[in-house]
Structure 1
């Protein structure tokens, strides 16, 4: 069923990545107003180039790990006349992003506290700060929904052998932060239950983003459907969670992983 989001204004963090940009495109196509945020850089520029002429699209540079920015951007969004009733905690830093292209990926024993804490700051503390600002500015003022984005590795251990010989590895802080995301969901779901606000988690599986054939084969072997997801397949479920049809769902984790978590 095609979702109609014409009554939704959706605030999304980390909107420039492969999934974030897909969410933005699909939400606009479904009739939503979209307030997108991301760090300064090429990804943000491409997003603005693609949608900047759409009056239903607004963009703000924001680092979710910066407390002052989170507060000020919410205030600017409200002052500019946007009225978000759905918030997506989508921003995250992966091990590949943390290390940077071409840099060696550390083994667990060599993982620095700085890198671990930087990941947690973006992926989990940042999600907390966005949700806290939503509590201050949105929850209780009008019906609202929060969708937190976790991962197939939130509640499932990483399969380390599939990363052998690859230029990247599964980073410990990523899985830890994504498990914490669902902890934030269930805590907030109860806390906001009487304030007309729902909170749910979506846990995407492995999403194709230019991966090698060998890596696709290794990951596919762990998935019932024997393949990685296309970004639009994750967006299909995200649009439902953002829609009025998900109004009686709260405190739930929805796995969109081709059966990975069901083995």
Structure 2
């Protein structure tokens, strides 16, 4: 029986998180060969342990904020005989990750330029550098697709009151970087249009990842579906975008947010 992603070799950045690891699992289940990348650490170790022995899985250490590592990564992958035809710009740093465990989350007035620029470096500049390396090594040589991951906050303002009393807040640089992601998408879609390459953005909504009941209630009141998403619900749409069935789509922003952006 033919699977949805048979014949696809998919390169994923930031694959160790709750969504990234779900994409890896689902794509492997659908017949893809998956090139998984992330920073070294416990998330990467868990991902490698989960798929150890699967001949369709490869893992490479990658910091998407490093121009040098990105310059090298496609050459390494292709030298190993894995020519990616789908690239997924999924790596991102959130405010929670930036602050680290136990550190107070700053108000906007106390946000440092260093923290703001570090977020942009990972979330937006990293996506640009991956796309630029695609242009150098892949685009025009064979059909390919780029999927950029934005957020429900890419083109919609954050609802700040839902974060009152929570140990985390909505971080300004995150929304700014995710808005820029779709700007990159539409620019590249036109630039690559005659070179057999498509580019689209997926904007996931609020994804459950151990959030408190109170936070789930607050978020649910902003969403037509009345609840946060499960990771597999986002992956369902990602699988379509990574498949040949999305071949006539380019330059699009696909919201998978339970109706948040329609209200």
TM-score bin, normalised by smaller chain: over 0.9
What are the Cα deviations for residues 36-70 of structure 1, in whole angstroms up to 9, with x where unaligned? 00000000000000112100000000000000001
Alignment of 1:156-235 (within 5 A): 156-235=156-235
TM-score (norm 2): 0.99
Aligned to 1:49: 49
1:239 equivalenced with 2:239 (yes/no): yes
* Secondary structure in structure 2 of the residue aligned to 1:189: helix
> What is the SS of the residue equivalent to 2:36?
strand
| Aligned mates of 1:248, 1:74 — CA distance in 2 | 26
Residues in 1 aligned to 2:158 and 2:87: alpha-carbon distance in whole angstroms: 28
For the residues of structure 2 that align with 1:7 and 1:247, how far apart are their CA atoms? 14
Cα distance in structure 1, aligned partners of 2:138 and 2:74: 10
Give the C-alpha shift of residue 4 in structure 1.
Answer: 1.1
Alignment of 1:55-70 (within 5 A): 55-70=55-70
Equivalence for 2:33 = 33
Give the conservation status (yes or no) of the 8 Å contact 1:3–1:243: no
* Alignment pair present for 1:81 and 2:86: no
**Is the partner of 2:238 in helix, strand or coil?**
helix
Matching residue of 1:105:
105
8 A Cα contact 1:149 1:181, kept in partner:
yes
Pairs aligned (count)? 262
What is the CA RMSD across the aligned residues, in angstroms? 0.8
Q: CA deviation at 1:184?
A: 0.1
Instruction: Say if 1:12 and 1:89, in contact at 8 Å, map to a contact too.
Output: yes
Once residues 192 and 111 of structure 2 are traced to their aligned partners in structure 1, the CA distance between those partners, rounded to angstroms, is 37
1:11 equivalent to 2:11? Answer yes
Q: Indicate the larger mover: 52-61 or 85-94.
A: 52-61
Report the CA distance between 1:73 and its aligned residue.
Answer: 1.4
SS in 2 for 1:11: strand
Tell me the residue number matched to 2:71.
Answer: 71
Q: Aligned runs of 1:110-149 on 2, under 5 Å?
A: 110-149=110-149
How many angstroms apart in 2 are the aligned matches of 1:108 and 1:8?
Answer: 43
Q: CA deviation at 1:3?
A: 5.8
